[in-house]
Structure 1
Amino acid sequence: MTLTHPAYGQLRQVTPTAAVLLADNPGQMTLDGTNTWILRGAGSSDFVVVDPGPEDHAHSEDIARVTGGNVALTLITHRHHDHTGGIDRLVELTGSPVRATDPAFLRGSSEPLADGEVIEAAGLSIDVLATPGHTGDSVSFVLEDAVLTGDTILGSGTTVLDSTDGTLADYLASLDRLVATGAGRALLPAHGPDHPDLEPITRYYIGHRHERLEQVRAALRELGPDADTMEVVRKVYADVDERLWLAASSSVRAQLEYLRTNG
């Protein structure tokens, strides 16, 4: 039987080189849970793990089980705990080195990920693409036939911008980079289902962001230019479940900053 998303605790092959193991941590911000991607090139006995997921020993042990402990490298798309919480347990189980943009998550390595770097591991060439916006440290990983986008592009819904260091200007630039790089390649997100072509999803994201910007502009025309974040949220997200307003406020804060800087 062919597995479909979501398939908790079961390794689901998506492309010839990429399989996914879904963590059992569903929620408003994580959708069905965190997708841990398990990568391996043809003929390789080693694996690359992307995003070991939350601090969940069962999930870490599942990663070790499906890889036989042969993890040549673990890569991190960004700092959020639902992606990084499982780092240390996975290192205990497999001895894998860990690389990330943020030095706080390096294990067995002193080199943060760099934009444009090409990583050779587990029979694969993996291009590192800086895609800040969701967070300042967000990166995507480009394979020959797929792009792993972390939380920059999700498999369903849209992405919240972390207002502590995510900016809308960065995010829009990152979406443009992904269209240019990923057209024709599969979309392998950190949450939600995968898609056979990254380009239409990314173009939808770009259109959605510009639509939201226009809605915020309209709200400011009505509420006044000094309206605060939650006033704008209540206006723009009036038809959205109020339980999501706190998350929406982070993106609105980034949109207000963008408009007040760029007009």
Structure 2
Amino acid sequence: MTEDTGIRTTALARRLTAPNPGPMTLDGTNSWLLGAPGQEDVVVVDPGPADRRHLAALAAAGRTVLTLVTHRHADHTGAVDDFHALTGAPVRGFLPEFCRDAPPLTDRETVEAAGCRIRVLHTPGHTSDSVSFHLPDDAPTGADGPGTGGTPGSVLTGDTILGRGTTMLDHPDGSLGDYLRSLQRLAVLGSALVLPAHGDVRDDVEAVCEELLEHRMERLAEVREALRALGRGASLEAITARIYADVPARVLPAARSSVGAQLAYLGF
């Protein structure tokens, strides 16, 4: 295995960021390479967009035995077919249309590959098919090793939890009710490290989830206030403009989608 391919982030995970930075992808889409120390085999999570150099770097990281995808968006799945052709490794996602030579993932399933135990958690909200991958045996770099000393583990959160900021809810496929329940589910993992699909690693998933839940409650209060000020018949565009007055125009579509999810949650 080529250990200098990707940034070693935890005992079991390395990160290789695709060259697709932007307002929705932050620094780019993180592809994660999972494998126990000394293993040649790797599991690739989110091969990313169809960028030839990025895929070549992923393939050079070891022998890919499985590819997993966190959700359907193209910056995560655009390379599925190219990477499958390059490596021959089966591909699994929650939706069958993103699977190749393997069945869809199921909630609470445990996948064992490349010396890792990977627990599948269905965490909808950003999209209906979003999943997170819990590595209970993972440890921070510099720890005694994976699975020792009561280490907190880690969780790959896709776009459900980002390395900074908050995710958009891809309404109507994504739903606020689902998202709040997913945050509550992830919070149970306690001090596990957060390995997001965009941005940097975050400590303590429970604390991050509490912060995000509080933020969503504040946004709901802002939506209620906007409805009082503008009237119950106010347009989605007007409500979004009032709440996100300082947001750049290029991210307003994402803001409108999240506001639409909030309105649906409130019964409008």
Q: Common fold, TM-score beyond 0.5?
A: yes
Of the three residues 203, 226, 234, the one matched with 2:233 is 226
Partner of 2:100: 107
1:10 Cα deviation after fit? 5.1
Partner of 2:30: 35
Of the three residues 61, 65, 72, the one matched with 1:79 is 72
Instruction: Please give the alpha-carbon distance, in whole angstroms, between the structure 1 residues aligned to 2:5 and 2:247.
Output: 33
Q: Extract unaligned runs of 5+ from structure 1.
A: 1-8
- After TM superposition, the structure 1 = structure 2 runs for residues 113-132 of structure 1, keeping only pairs within 5 Å, are 113-132=105-124
1:133-167 Cα offsets, whole Å, 9 max, x none, are 00000000000110000000000111000013100
1:71-111 Cα offsets, whole Å, 9 max, x none, are 111000000000001111111111110000010011111x1
1:3-34 Cα offsets, whole Å, 9 max, x none, are xxxxxx95100100000001010001000000
**Amino acid in structure 2 at the alignment position of 1:174:** S
Q: Extract unaligned runs of 5+ from structure 2.
A: 137-152
Going by fraction, where is helix more abundant, 1 or 2?
Answer: 1
Partner of 2:90: 97
Cα pair 2:132 2:158 within 8 Å, conserved: yes
Partner of 2:181: 173
1:43 Cα deviation after fit? 4.1
- After TM superposition, the structure 1 = structure 2 runs for residues 185-204 of structure 1, keeping only pairs within 5 Å, are 185-204=192-211
Of the three residues 4, 8, 12, the one matched with 2:7 is 12
Q: Work out the number of aligned pairs and report it.
A: 249
Cα pair 2:194 2:202 within 8 Å, conserved: yes
Cα pair 2:172 2:261 within 8 Å, conserved: no
Secondary structure, aligned partner of 1:201: helix
Partner of 2:259: 252
Instruction: Please give the alpha-carbon distance, in whole angstroms, between the structure 2 residues aligned to 1:63 and 1:32.
Output: 18
Instruction: Please give the alpha-carbon distance, in whole angstroms, between the structure 2 residues aligned to 1:120 and 1:242.
Output: 44
Of the three residues 160, 163, 179, the one matched with 1:155 is 163
| RMSD (Å) for aligned C-alpha atoms | 1.3
- Shifted more, 140-149 versus 88-97: the winner is 88-97
Partner of 2:49: 54
Partner of 1:133: 125
Instruction: Please give the alpha-carbon distance, in whole angstroms, between the structure 2 residues aligned to 1:245 and 1:36.
Output: 26
1:21 corresponds to 2:13: no
Give identity over the alignment, percent. Answer: 52
Cα pair 2:126 2:167 within 8 Å, conserved: yes
Instruction: Please give the alpha-carbon distance, in whole angstroms, between the structure 2 residues aligned to 1:193 and 1:167.
Output: 25
1:207-248 Cα offsets, whole Å, 9 max, x none, are 111100000000001111121211100111112223321110
1:197 Cα deviation after fit? 2.1
Cα pair 1:43 1:123 within 8 Å, conserved: no
**Amino acid in structure 2 at the alignment position of 1:75:** L
Instruction: Please give the alpha-carbon distance, in whole angstroms, between the structure 2 residues aligned to 1:45 and 1:26.
Output: 30
Cα pair 1:115 1:130 within 8 Å, conserved: yes
Cα pair 1:10 1:22 within 8 Å, conserved: no
Cα pair 1:118 1:125 within 8 Å, conserved: yes
